[in-house]
Structure 1
């Protein structure tokens, strides 16, 4: 273990929401982990693909980011996903740790 410098090792009781929904084209199944880590950004896990991303409400304006994060080919599908997450994600101010 001398090869690694531990950056953090936190234990936290978190709130998790599991939600499944459909649009006209697609079914979605997500786990949303609300945590105090990551500057308050929830960890979103796609239960179908295992892909995950940290998302805040500001990220939902970037449809291309959602497409890449969750491997979505259609812009309309990513826009539908953004619309869902607008209601599901908290609106917290985000300050970057790195400059």
Structure 2
């Protein structure tokens, strides 16, 4: 067996918020992970769709980003965006 080559292999203390809310279009079940690893951005996991993204304010302002990453309709993405502006 060959020796494994790690690009990095470290541990981080994280803070995770689990939140579930019902919008007008759909229910969202999220885990929001805060760590020093992502330069102030947060790791947002959609536990229903098994999709995730590293998100900061700049990503929330990028047109079509949430729709693409989480495969949401425009209306669903706007509800998620509105919530994430409050917590990111």
Q: TM-score, normalised by structure 1?
A: 0.80
1:27-59 per-residue CA deviation (whole Å, 9 max, x = no partner) reads 000000000002221110001011000000111
Q: Would you identify which runs of 4 or more consecutive aligned residues in structure 1 move more than 3 Å?
A: none
CA distance in 1, matches of 2:41, 2:9: 18
Structure holding more strand per residue: 2
SS at match of 1:12: coil
User: Which blocks of at least 5 consecutive residues in structure 2 are unaligned?
Assistant: none
CA distance in 2, matches of 1:5, 1:63: 38
CA distance in 2, matches of 1:24, 1:11: 39
How many equivalent pairs are there? Answer: 87
The Cα shift of 1:6 comes to 1.8
CA distance in 1, matches of 2:84, 2:17: 12
Q: TM-score, normalised by structure 2?
A: 0.90
CA distance in 2, matches of 1:58, 1:6: 30
